[in-house]
Structure 1
């Protein structure tokens, strides 16, 4: 028996069951109960089937990614700004010395403090949630930026930069972990394309902002500019980034201790090698002793990671994935190259050629525009092709651009000619950063997304630290070879362009220094040849 009651008019009517007199679909009514618009309802004696609330549409991961990119973007801008401002920082805080090693520690201290805790901060993101770690890291980085701007000595600035590095270490692994956990494998290339585009735009904004700020307001403002950006990024991340599932991990305290000691010994030894003529530092402590001890401790760390019964800091099982293993080797090479190439180029432009920081930055516009425009397209293409199709040409273009820079770094080449290698470098970056990160993380298990991201960023930063240390030592040796006795000469390199008589040999020293990163990136071309097609394309 049933009664025709006409159109549904209430939630109770809808809950007792509706059958349409027309061919129209149901829609979710008030409170999530299924109802109908002009349907006529029949109430039957039989109980109506129970209806479930309509499921909410899945939340788009893109707003969260945009919010996270703000903090990541700020870190990249800060790095490129400091490269532009190094000569001004040296002139203000270390004007009497001709030795460039001390000012290089403004970069090396940041990179060292960034590299050492990266492995554990990736694990912390898995344990306590990437959103929480990101917010803490962003707050630390922003406050440390204030301390950098208020520094009155080079030593104070170096310590403040180390605090910045700690904040960046808390923040950076979380961006890649969120991409890995919120985007499906077949869409991660597009997400990493945005990540790569942020790198390209930072390469434009950093040098330009650095040039304008150093020329107009002083070097301190390259750090003060982080304060409003950090506050906005914190608010947006608090609002838009979801709280993801956490995973319990046992923290490998001995592993953290061993890795920190190994990194410090190796980097400090490389950084101070030229200052002590690769000899004795104090008493029985020598440069080669530090480096050798660091290598031994690093070997002990890796042995311990393979033997520990607790959860290791570095899950060596991840390296059974060939793409993850070779991507990590390649990103270390890339980190070395990118860090090493910036220092000789900026010193050449500002000291050998007499350009201002702003004028030096303008020469990098083609690089930044090319990377920022091409990276999103490269990311979407990577979701459909073998990663080697993008990475081999990208790395080769980077090598070509650096060799061209080295060839043009003299006092006779028209300065505008340097726009060509700058453009080539931008295209190379677009085929390098995003595709490499995507290839490394695409097939990671969700439970170890933070650990994998931490390893990847650690390898990149290890390369950067070694690149910073090696380029300082190599640059100082080239200066001594081209300008004998320059380290003991009166005056300094920090106060402006050198006299005409030494401009040419100074330029030659910087050009010879540029050959180191140009040759080193070719190792990356060899490494990516061992990659294979990702699982979703097999």
Structure 2
């Protein structure tokens, strides 16, 4: 999972184009290490949620926000982070983002209450939004030719392994020194990177850039309001004022965002991208795929630990095949999309995801986890992995080359926002299961997952363009 900056190719660096500076590989290693922490923090918390809930007396709503607060700020502010990198210099943006993320990780680990925990997660997301697009901008402009392809391959591999390592590391740390260490572990890594990076980062000259702060605030607030309404619906009901008003508020804020973007001379998001069918298709596929996968990690972790009494480490081990299956699906999808086309690959991936989700709808509190839960999750995540790749390649390889950066920003924003919305929706549907330990809530959520994947397969038949994407290389990898 990478988060490209839409003006990456316009940046200027001091590293020579002939690749003579040997520090560039050390720089790549440090930037990949920083990016790895950002990706890790999406999934590492899932396995630790039950222990957090017990120690801090957290309810279902708060647990949901522990996951979504990070992805919401990461995704909602990512485009602004890319613009800020232009305005202050990518190297400054990387260091500022890393400092914020590291400090926020310490605060989150030290949390003694829900407000402190959630505040830490919010600032982790802000730091990630500053760091990630600027870091990839530096990588893409510091390497050239074959070296660039190798560097971007390493960067993409970080995203592919982050979720797998996250569930396992989250379980090991929670079972060992405690859930706080899923956040503390970022601190020494961040300090080392902060000490080493200034010596190897190329100095980017700031470029005049308008910062669309109103747009960033509106789109993030709109998504936050939407998620708040979804979470509230789990307790107060879908027709309650506590759910309806935030949901309507989210729509109003989105409308205001569109108006601001149309009027702005330097919009955060070029809305014309949504007139490009490949971009709309890619954003849709990315939203659904991420929503399903992150929701699976969330629901599965709570189910295994609350209903089945699994330890955090054992839970992490159960999820390891799921994360590996996602990677295998992505690898196979990257091959198939060039052979059979985007539409066929996307539809097949969603059908496989739906098929894997169906057995989960019949889950019981007594069946073997390795027969009733794990096979379905592995099959579903395999299909989702193929959809991830199809989403990215469709959006980026089927638009004009000069628009690929803009399309990349859109698709990667939908990646993070999709995770937030998926957890919020599934947490609401599974509310009774999470709060009372009832199996019905979990089966209802998995039933919705199967229905969403099946419906998405039908939509993909119409929405995803025919044809085989032709990737031209560059920074736009996921």
TM-score w.r.t. structure 1 length?
Answer: 0.72
User: What is residue 328 of structure 1 aligned with on the other side?
Assistant: 283
For 1:183 and 1:453, locate their aligned partners in 2 and report how far apart those are by CA, in whole Å. 19
Q: Does 1:289 align with 2:221?
A: no
* Residue-by-residue CA offset, 1:212-269 (whole Å, 9 max, x unaligned): 2111211111111112332344466556665568654322333234324423332222
For 1:509, which of 441, 465, 472 is the aligned residue?
Answer: 441
- Tell me the CA shift for residue 92 of structure 1: 0.6
Two-structure CA RMSD over aligned residues (Å)? 3.7
- Tell me the CA shift for residue 178 of structure 1: 5.6
Question: For the structure 1 residues 57 and 108, does the alpha-carbon distance in structure 2 shift closer, same or farther, using more than 3 Å as the test?
Answer: closer
Give the secondary structure class of the aligned counterpart of 1:364: helix
User: What is residue 56 of structure 1 aligned with on the other side?
Assistant: 18
Question: For the structure 1 residues 365 and 254, does the alpha-carbon distance in structure 2 shift closer, same or farther, using more than 3 Å as the test?
Answer: closer
TM-score w.r.t. structure 2 length?
Answer: 0.80
Contact 1:363 1:419 in 2 (8 A): yes
Q: Which has the larger radius of gyration?
A: 1
Question: For the structure 1 residues 378 and 169, does the alpha-carbon distance in structure 2 shift closer, same or farther, using more than 3 Å as the test?
Answer: same
Contact 2:285 2:388 in 1 (8 A): no
Give the secondary structure class of the aligned counterpart of 2:430: helix
Contact 2:105 2:184 in 1 (8 A): yes
Contact 2:230 2:243 in 1 (8 A): yes
For 2:391 and 2:444, locate their aligned partners in 1 and report how far apart those are by CA, in whole Å. 29
- Tell me the CA shift for residue 176 of structure 1: 5.4
For 1:301 and 1:125, locate their aligned partners in 2 and report how far apart those are by CA, in whole Å. 22
* Residue-by-residue CA offset, 1:135-171 (whole Å, 9 max, x unaligned): 3222211111111111111221111111111112222
For 1:218 and 1:228, locate their aligned partners in 2 and report how far apart those are by CA, in whole Å. 17
User: What is residue 44 of structure 2 aligned with on the other side?
Assistant: 81
User: What is residue 7 of structure 2 aligned with on the other side?
Assistant: none
Contact 2:286 2:387 in 1 (8 A): no
User: What is residue 490 of structure 1 aligned with on the other side?
Assistant: none
User: What is residue 19 of structure 1 aligned with on the other side?
Assistant: none
For 1:434 and 1:129, locate their aligned partners in 2 and report how far apart those are by CA, in whole Å. 31
Which has more helix, going by share of residues? 2
User: What is residue 102 of structure 1 aligned with on the other side?
Assistant: 62
User: What is residue 459 of structure 1 aligned with on the other side?
Assistant: 414
User: What is residue 534 of structure 1 aligned with on the other side?
Assistant: 469
Higher mean displacement: 85-94 or 434-443: 434-443
For 2:194 and 2:18, locate their aligned partners in 1 and report how far apart those are by CA, in whole Å. 27
User: What is residue 259 of structure 1 aligned with on the other side?
Assistant: 219
Unaligned ranges ≥5, structure 2? 1-15, 473-478
Q: Does 1:71 align with 2:34?
A: yes
Contact 2:48 2:171 in 1 (8 A): yes
For 1:129 and 1:522, locate their aligned partners in 2 and report how far apart those are by CA, in whole Å. 45
For 2:316, which of 351, 357, 361 is the aligned residue?
Answer: 361
Question: For the structure 1 residues 372 and 297, does the alpha-carbon distance in structure 2 shift closer, same or farther, using more than 3 Å as the test?
Answer: closer
For 1:129 and 1:194, locate their aligned partners in 2 and report how far apart those are by CA, in whole Å. 24
Q: How many residues align?
A: 452
Contact 2:342 2:394 in 1 (8 A): yes
Question: For the structure 1 residues 123 and 159, does the alpha-carbon distance in structure 2 shift closer, same or farther, using more than 3 Å as the test?
Answer: same
Unaligned ranges ≥5, structure 1? 1-53, 481-486, 488-492, 499-505
- Tell me the CA shift for residue 315 of structure 1: 1.0
User: What is residue 305 of structure 1 aligned with on the other side?
Assistant: 261
